[in-house]
Structure 1
Amino acid sequence: MSKSALIVWGGWDGHTPEQSARIVGDILEQHGFSVDIEPTTEAFADEGLANYDLIVPAVTMSRIEREELTNLLAAVRAGTGIAGFHGLMCDSFRNEPDYQFMTGGQWVAHPGNIIDYTVNITKSDDPVMAGIGDFPYRSEQYYMHFDPSVEVLATTTFSGDIFDEIDGVVMPVVWKRRFGKGRVFYSALGHIADEFKVPQMRTIFERGALWAAR
């Protein structure tokens, strides 16, 4: 029996949510998932939400109704996995700390906007990171507020070029955690859909999503 995934996209167009959602859908279908893609958070209110093996939010700078959020949190706590990337998971609902408590973090800044930086692998023995070494990346370098309980798989180090007070700050880029019985995976990489063309970015998210799925 194939696994099932729900991808919900929406919010700010600058993060290419629909295009990214469809790329993720293709990735999961290649692994035998049956995939539903929905353009509204109303899908989170579905009474059958907890039957999905994986949920991928591709929603950025948006809002979610209380019923939708309550149902989403309950589904993950009951064992449905959740995986996402960049602002399409950790800048989805800025006014919802309950959601941020589940994801393990929230975006707060990207000093310098699109810049060159380095992703450093901190857990090379984790299956998500197998065979991937440190690599250069060009995108927004995400400054996050994050939960200290997350298991960090990769980091980046900020320079003081834009704000001298963050010079040398080491920030998580990729992490995983548990939320109830559910697995949570997050990668800060993926500002726009074209970043899936970067092999390391795509591989990290692909493996992380498969890990998160029930």
Structure 2
Amino acid sequence: MSKTALIFWGGWEGHTPARSANIVKEMLAGHGFDITLEQGTSVLTGSDISQFDLIVPMVTMSTIEKPELENLVAAVRGGTGLAGFHGTMGDSFRNETEYQFMVGGQWVSHPGNIIDYRIDIAKPDDPIVAGIGGFAYRSEQYYMHVDPSNEVLATTTFSGEHFETIAGVVMPVVWKRRYGKGRVFYSALGHTADEFDVPQMKTIFERGALWASR
């Protein structure tokens, strides 16, 4: 019996949600997943989403109805996996603290916008990042408010060039965590669908999503 995944997308178009959602759909389909792909959040009340093995939100700077959020939170607490990246999971619903608690963080700034920076692997023995090693990256360098209970797999260090008072701050970029019985994976990489062309970014997300799945 194949695994099942729900991908729902929407919000700010600058994060190319439709393109990114289709890339992730093809990625998961390649691992035998049966995919449900929907625009908007209404799908979260339209069926028993707790039956999905994995849910991938692909929504930025949007809103969610209370029953939709309650269903999503209950599904993950009950064992459905949650995986996502960049602002499409880390800046989805700014007013919803329960969602942010589940994700393990919330985007707050990206000083300098698109810049060159470095990703450092914090747990090289973890299967999600094993064999990848540190690498240079060009994108938004996310400054986030993060949960101290996250298991951090990769970090970045702010130089202070674009905001002097955060010089030397080591910020989590990739993490995994538990939320009830569910596994949660997050990567801050992936500003647009084009970043899936970066092998390290794609591999980290792919492995993380498979780890998160029930």
TM-score (norm 1): 0.99
Aligned Cα root-mean-square deviation (Å): 0.5
Task: Report the more deviating stretch, 45-54 or 70-79.
Answer: 45-54
Question: Which residue does 2:206 correspond to in 1?
Answer: 206
Given residue 49 of structure 1, which amino acid in structure 2 is its aligned partner? I
Unaligned runs of 5+ in 1: none
Tell me if 1:187 matches 2:181. no
Question: Post-superposition shift, 1:74?
Answer: 0.2
Write the distance in 2 (CA, Å) between the matches of 1:174 and 1:99.
Answer: 18
**Cα distance per residue 1:70-93 (max 9 Å; x no partner):** 000000000000000000001000
Q: Output aligned runs, 1:47-126, within 5 Å.
A: 47-126=47-126
Given residue 11 of structure 2, which amino acid in structure 1 is its aligned partner? G
Question: Post-superposition shift, 1:46?
Answer: 2.9
Given residue 44 of structure 1, which amino acid in structure 2 is its aligned partner? L
Question: Post-superposition shift, 1:40?
Answer: 1.0
Given residue 84 of structure 1, which amino acid in structure 2 is its aligned partner? G
Question: Which residue does 2:175 correspond to in 1?
Answer: 175
Q: Output aligned runs, 1:154-169, within 5 Å.
A: 154-169=154-169
Count of residue pairs the alignment pairs up: 214
| Deviating 4+ runs (over 2 angstroms) | none
Question: Post-superposition shift, 1:110?
Answer: 0.1
Write the distance in 2 (CA, Å) between the matches of 1:166 and 1:143.
Answer: 10
**Cα distance per residue 1:124-163 (max 9 Å; x no partner):** 0000011100000000000000000000000000011111
Task: Report the more deviating stretch, 41-50 or 198-207.
Answer: 41-50
**Cα distance per residue 1:20-75 (max 9 Å; x no partner):** 00000000000000001000100111341000000000000000000000000000
Identity %: 71
Write the distance in 1 (CA, Å) between the matches of 2:50 and 2:152.
Answer: 26
